[in-house]
Structure 1
Amino acid sequence: MPRTARTTALVAAALLATVVPSAGASAAEPPVPRVDLTVLVVDDGGSAVEAIVAELRTTGVPYRRVDLADSGRPVIDAGFLSDTVSGRPRAKYQGVVLPHESAFGPDSAEQTALTAYEKTFRIPQVDAYTWAHPGVGLDYTNEGGYSGPLDGASATVTPAGKAGPFRYLDGPLTFEDNDPTISESHGYAGRPREGFTSLLDVPVADGGRASLIGEYARDGRRELVVTFAYNQYQRQFRVLARGIVEWLTEGVHLGQSRNYFSVQVDDVFAPDARWDTARNCTPGDLDCPGGDGEAGGNPVRMTAADATYAAAWQKSAGFTLDMVYNGGQGEQWKTEHGGTDPLATRLIADRAQYRWTNHTYTHPFLGCVQDTSTVPWRCAKNAAGATLWMSRAEIAGQIRDNQNWAVGKGISVDRTELVTGEHSGLKTLPQQPADNPNLTGALADTGVKWTASDNSREPQQRVVGTGTGAAKTVPRHPMNVYYNVGTAAEMADEYNWIYTSRADGGSGICESNPASTCLPAPLDTATGYAGYIVPQEARTALSHVVANDPRPHYAHQSNLAEERILYPVLDRVLADYRGLFADNTPLVNPRQRDVGVELDRRAAWDRALAAGQVTAYRIGAAVTVKAPAGVNAPVTVPEGTRKQLLLGTAVFGTAYAGARSAWTAPEALQSATTLKLPTA
């Protein structure tokens, strides 16, 4: 017997031995295997595997990573892949991710063991990135296919894809082409052979179509074959990632994913300073003296007409904005303008059409007392050298007064939510490296549980202060639509100043900041906003939406005033999203409190996974999940799944993207969550 055939037979025999019933059991009815809800990832360090790992991690799917470059890695053999628990054969992994179809070499003992395991337990395998060839069920690309760049290519989910793992997609998927001078995507589109079902394809030269993603079934095994290169940040992968995981896990897995989009509009009722296009600064700022107070001499502020437009836009767009308001600023404006404020009158009349969030009464800086005798400012100190801070009573007064103002106007506000001016009170580097020590007490005094932070500075949720009742942060994505502009020309002018080199008349900030890139040439201020900034900002926002990122975005009331420059960005995001996704996958528009809860649950879940405190498995149509007390588990299952109650069952979870999912915990008097999957 040849060595390869002998090895295959021995490994298959070892695996099959695990499913032979124990003495006394009926040989005709071996026990149904237990399949643990963990994914095995074999990693070659490439961007495709890294992208799939990122999807597993961010959605909460447990996985075990084996690094092929690690000399001390475990050997992939029968014992690594399976064993027996309480007399029942156990598959330790519900799915396998390989960098390509023969990561260990086609004749290696490890590849043989993996093949036998997949056959025995019917475990799916994803080939993260390979080329079109008969070994994966495709013709070579010179046989009517295509190989080369895919930038700007329009791919289509096939009927099989829509009926299967990509049932949440609707319209065509266009590959990103962000820079026409750089090739961003490459792939091999091959025509299917026997046993291959295309799930995503592209047109080829002869008028036919060739596959970029498909399922190859052979010899009792199933492979998802991906034949284009990608990384975790590209839109085409982000849109397809959910389907790849659904295919890999057969729709039953720990973790869940949603497409979130919330937009908070700061400074409502307050005026915002205006960018000075001649001096390239904002009057009222320390490095730009002049103007009248915080907003400068020519502020940007919404009008009643802008408020009417906002309400109408929400209705037509099917999207709700969060109005982050400063009641005291509105009162001051009214006092300074004859005792009337048409903007406030209109917004208050339409109050039920928005969500409202406390932004403090007059928008002061809640951190250290600022010494503005220097540029940049610094924290003022007393004679003993100790930092001077805004007091607990002052902070609490700002929060409470704004809350009471809203109550007096009939505006519904959640007391647990807060956005401080400039996220102040929280640490502000480099001047204020620590939170205001008085902030925690003020938040406790006023019942605040969720206070906003700047995602560009602090992307992770954290506790503010100490104690079990302490507030937690909700990081927000700043939109690159500036607070100090009311027109597209002003926006393009300031954008040029920030992103243009000194030689081209800009500030040169983009040259000295390693995280920034300079424009090749300044934007035309007449067309630059619509032609360049809007598509770029919409693309960035949509990348967050499709990455299971619940963090809200924020802009300012100035962006809803004058030329109302925020709406083109929002319209583009909504149109692009609805052009891609089916009706079964609507945008989720959470408020700040809900985002805080989601991030908090994810952190607890990640800690439980890291500590090895989660046990989850499937035996036939039954799924069992055990997690530490107080930790909710995210679970995704097919439609028709029911949760076992103490007496009877109930429909499990919420419908989303063609599946059911939810954060769940055992019912009273139960030690584990048990789900009953639908049976054919």
Structure 2
Amino acid sequence: MKRTLSTTVLTTGALLAALGIPAAQAAEPAPRIDLRVLVVSDGGPATDAIAAELRTAGTPYTEIDLTRSDRLVIDAGYLADTVDGRDRAKFQAVVLPNDNPFPAGSAEMAALVAYEQEYDVPQVDAYTYARPEAGLQYPVNGGYSGSLDGARAEVTDAGRSGPFGYLDGPVPFEDNAPDVGESYAFLSGPAEGADFTPYVQADIPGTTRKGSLVGEYRHDGRRELVVTFVYNRHQQQFRLLARGIVAWMTGGVHLGASRNYFAVHVDDVLAGDDRWNSTLNCTPGDVDCTDPNATPDPIRMTPGDVDHAVTWQQEQGFTLDLAYNAAGSVDHREDHAGADPLADRLVDRRDAFRWINHTYTHAFLGCEQNTSVVPWRCATNADGSTQWVSRNDIADEIAHNRVWGQSAGLPLDDDELVTGEHSGLQVLPQQPADNPNLALALADTGVTWLASDNSREPGQRQVGPATTVPRYPMNVFYNAGRAAEQVDEYNWIYTSRAQGGSGICEDNPATTTCLPAPLDPATGYTEHIVPLERQIALGHVLANDPKPHFIHQSNLAEERIAYPVLDGVLDGYEELFASDTPLVNLRMKAIGAELARRAAWRTAVDDGQVTAYRIGDTVTVDAPAGVDVPATMPDGTTRSGTAFGQAYAGHRSGWTDPAAGPLTLTLPTSAAPSTAGGTDGSTPATDPAPDARVPEGVAEHIPPTGS
């Protein structure tokens, strides 16, 4: 045995010598590339947007702010070192504000250039002037410099076969305020002799040619993703391209995962929602509508509305979550000789939907309300302490509704709950603390996921055994079954007192849905409210935000005013994305779990408890026990011989329990590091990039206004 081993060693040595390969060179280990991005910021919106994308997805990054006098200096020792005898690159990608944000002859830029060449580390120029140093012609040479508000860019064939293959349509640029500049771009073609590939381009005004907005420049053994339009983290054009920017800079190998989510909860199913009264400017039946002439006029779905919802779901490939109040049906039967066609049809079609317990009567479960005053106040005891709805009353509301649902065969998850008006949780200003009996009742009834209102509490928190799931309220009102009612109430809320409105915008100028004049009752819904709500909801979808939206059963009744908004989101999404990037439609507990996993992962990364790197075709991730790891890898990546993650947007991604010891993934041979392009005769940029214009609507985000 010993003799055979000796022979093998001699034969290998002889072979190396015959090939002319020095033994020391052949044994040199492959470098370790840490899975972390270096973001060099100038305080502008573009680098801020990329950093926000990385953080939301869970991709570790280090930020150096060039505007700070106490910042770290970038040199060779900061970028690379040696670990266990192996060269280590501390960053897998570099993001700069532009192609060269440093002074002429900067040692820091020289260090970055050498680092990128040595380890084949790509560089993203977050927003740079089009110039030969970035592989492009100057815009004055037949290009364009100016606004792209309202323009429609497009992904090139190279972009679709490369990092932006998940897009299947145009890249629309926002134009939310016609009197405010929201975008600025430099459009031009590749410089003469440059190895430049456009990935996203737009028409050059006044010509039949197109200019690059995003493209890859390969030169001097380096690769740069050159972006020549400015953006912020909220704008649709960035949200559409953010995934591809990260995929390009990491080669599709990075920690963190991203999906496009959409879920819609329909509250008050089986109950009736009181209708807005356009004469009284309040909702009869509401505690704040005290006019003696106020007579409730409830809106309630019909069996035909159920059939329409089922058909709509089948056509859209989407599932609604119905949050039900069983007392609505029990009371209806008592008033209609035991008949309730709506409940019968819902029970018959129960498996078409997901169902959530919304409490039996939709009672207010916080403090006991004193409704003798407007606005209402919490009732108090003689000693001044707050009177709270009791533990037993809360538990009964939950349990009684659950029993009805179980007897009807609804496919419930008993650990999910939506309380009426999110009551029991704090409500400012009247009730600044949770009902202390709520947590006890949740424990009594086994509730572990509790809906909350994102407009009040955007973050998750614990309430006894339950974790909150923040929900986005859609501005399609619960007390409107018809478009004219919706417009009338919208006008009253969002116009000035002089125009007959509530004056909320005068009292709170930060309100983003304020109107300069009342909407036309005949056209205001379709021309203003629907486009606005569609854009807001689609913005959440594109931001890797799983939080559900909620509407009410009244919006599926009568004129079914919710569907134009929902269709706008779903149809708009289908136009933009390829079939391998579907909307993810989760139920409430799965959304809560996703948010909770993200929080745990973010804490581990922020606390320096995660180590991740790539050596050749092997990725190793070491994370704390009990913390799931999110990762995105190329198709063909395996873990212990089994395909890793789930297919999405051209990659494999998902959450993985590392179990015992570090997580080890094996990359496919196609994921070998790219070899940067050869020289095109140019030299690395030494002159800093000129300042590029940043319009007001980018520096200070202009939210959708529906105009």
Same fold (TM over 0.5): yes
**Residues 127-206 of structure 1 aligned to structure 2 (within 5 Å):** 127-193=125-191, 194-204=194-204, 205-206=206-207
- Asked if 2 retains the 8 angstrom alpha-carbon contact of 1:284 and 1:290, the reply is no
Tell me by how many angstroms 1:515 deviates: 2.4
Tell me the CA shift for residue 292 of structure 1.
10
Distance in 1 between residues matched to 2:95 and 2:652, nearest whole Å: 24
Deviation by residue 1:364-384 (Cα, 9 ceiling, x = unmatched): 011111111221111112222
1:532 equivalent among 504, 514, 528: 528
SS in 2 for 1:498: helix
Q: Structure 1 420/606 Cα, relative in aligned 2: closer, same or farther at 3 Å?
A: same
User: CA separation in 1, counterparts of 2:623 and 2:30?
Assistant: 24
1:490 counterpart (485, 490, 514): 485
- Alignment pair present for 1:522 and 2:501: no
| Equivalent residue runs for 1:640-651 within 5 Å | 640-644=636-640, 649-651=641-643
Question: Which of 539, 542, 550 is matched with 2:538 structurally?
Answer: 542
CA contact (8 A) 1:357 1:414 kept: yes
Find the aligned partners of 2:362 and 2:287 in 1 and give their Cα distance: 17
Aligned to 1:249: 250
Letter in 2 for 1:332: D
- Partners of 2:394 and 2:366 in 1: CA distance: 9
Query: Are 1:676 and 2:677 counterparts?
Result: no
Distance apart, 1:30 and its partner CA: 2.2
Q: d(CA) in 2 for partners of 1:477 and 1:582?
A: 26
Q: How do residues 562-641 of structure 1 correspond to structure 2 at under 5 angstroms? A: 562-641=558-637
Where 1:313 maps in the other structure, the secondary structure is helix
* Deviation readout 1:230-279 (Å, 9 max, x if unpaired): 11110010111111111111100000000000000000000001111111
8 Å CA contact retained: 1:168, 1:657: yes
Question: SS at 1:26's partner residue?
Answer: helix
Letter in 2 for 1:502: R
- Structural mapping, 1:390-405, within 5 Å: 390-405=389-404
CA distance in 2, matches of 1:485, 1:239: 33
Other-structure match for 2:688: none
Determine the structure 1 residue equivalent to 2:501: 506
**Which residue number in structure 1 is paired with residue 657 of structure 2?**
665
Q: Partner of 1:479 in structure 2?
A: 474
1:273 aligns with 2:274: yes
Q: Show the 5 A alignment for 1:174-323.
A: 174-193=172-191, 194-204=194-204, 205-289=206-290, 297-323=296-322
Whole-Å separation in 1 of the counterparts to 2:85 and 2:155 = 43
Partners in 2 of 1:101 and 1:290 — Cα distance?
65
Q: Return the offset for 1:328.
A: 1.3
The match for 2:4 is none
Partners of 2:261 and 2:44 in 1: how far apart? 28
**2: distance between equivalents of 1:531 and 1:601?**
39
Give 1:113's aligned residue.
111
How big is the shift at 1:25? 6.3
- Please give the TM-score of this superposition, normalised by the length of structure 2: 0.90
Amino acid at match of 1:391: S
Deviation at 1:289, TM superposition (A): 2.1
The answer to whether the Cα contact below 8 Å between 1:185 and 1:228 also exists between their aligned partners in 2 is yes
Which residue in 1 is equivalent to 2:90? 92
1:17 maps to what in 2? none
- Corresponding position of 1:383: 382
Q: Secondary structure at the match of 1:607?
A: helix
Distance 1:520 1:422, change over 3 A: same
Is residue 444 of structure 1 aligned with residue 421 of structure 2? no
Matched letter for residue 513 of structure 1: N
Please list the CA deviations of residues 201-248 of structure 1 after superposition, one character each: whole Å capped at 9, or x if unmatched.
012233121100000000110000000011111001011111111111
What's the CA shift string for 1:172-200, capped at 9, x where partnerless? 11111122222211100110232110000
**Residue 101 (1) aligns with residue 99 (2):** yes
Distance 1:105 1:594 in 2: 50
Mapped partners of 1:638, 1:247: distance in 2: 12
Q: 1:548-581: CA deviations, max 9, x gaps?
A: 0000000000000110000000001111100000
Q: Which residue of 2 aligns with 1:424?
A: 423
Deviates more, 1:516-525 or 1:421-430: 516-525
Measure, in 2, the Cα distance between the counterparts of 1:498 and 1:290: 18
SS in 2 for 1:202: strand
Q: Contact 1:641–1:677 (CA<8 Å) still a contact in 2?
A: yes
| Corresponding position of 2:644 | 652
How far apart are the structure 2 equivalents of 1:650 and 1:347? 42
| Aligned partners of 1:291 and 1:297 also within 8 Å | no
Alignment partner, residue 9 of structure 1: none
Contact 2:629 2:658 survives alignment (8 Å):
no
Instruction: Supply the distance in 1 between the matched residues of 2:507 and 2:379 (Cα, whole angstroms).
Output: 29
SS of 1:83's equivalent in the other structure is: strand
* Letter matched to residue 272 of structure 2: P
Deviations 1:351-407 (A, max 9, x none): 000000000011101111111122111111222222111111111111111111011
Post-superposition shift, 1:39? 0.5
User: Are the structure 2 counterparts of residues 25 and 370 from structure 1 closer, same or farther at C-alpha, using a change threshold of 3 Å?
Assistant: farther
Aligned partners of 2:471 and 2:550 also within 8 Å = yes
How much has 1:283 moved relative to structure 2? 0.9
Distance 1:552 1:657 in 2: 22
Structure 1 stretch 26-35 or stretch 522-531: which is displaced more? 26-35
The answer on whether the counterparts of 1:461 and 1:475 sit within 8 Å (CA) in structure 2 is yes
In the superposition, relative to structure 1, how do residues 340 and 291 fare at CA in structure 2: closer, same or farther (>3 Å)?
A: farther
C-alpha distance in structure 2 between counterparts of 1:515 and 1:25, whole Å: 69
Distance 2:612 2:324 in 1: 45
What SS does the corresponding residue of 1:27 show, helix, strand or coil? Answer: helix
AA partner of residue 410 (structure 2): I
- Total equivalences in the alignment: 645
Residue type of the partner of 1:388?
Q
TM-score under structure 1 normalisation? 0.93
CA displacement 1:415-455 (0-9 Å, x = unmatched): 01000000001111111111111111111111111000000
CA distance in 2: counterparts of 1:542 and 1:336, whole angstroms: 42
Whether the 8 Å CA contact 1:291–1:298 is kept in 2: the answer is: no
5+ residue gaps, structure 1, are 1-23
Partner of 2:8: none
Rounded to whole Å, the distance in 1 between the matches of 2:580 and 2:509 is: 41
Greater shift in the superposed pair: 515-524 or 41-50: 515-524
The runs of at least 4 consecutive aligned structure 1 residues that moved more than 3 Å come to 290-293
* C-alpha distance in 1 between matches for 2:312 and 2:321: 14
CA contact (8 A) 1:302 1:562 kept: yes
1:485 is aligned with what amino acid? A
- In 2, distance between residues paired with 1:373 and 1:153? 54
Counterpart of 1:521, as a letter, is A
**3-state DSSP class of the match of 2:621?**
strand
**Aligned-residue offset at 1:106:** 4.1
CA distance in structure 1 between the partners assigned to 2:458 and 2:293 by the alignment: 35
Where do 5+ consecutive residues of structure 2 fail to align?
1-21, 671-707
For 1:290 and 1:519, the matched residues in 2 are separated by: 27
Indicate the SS of the match to 2:647.
strand
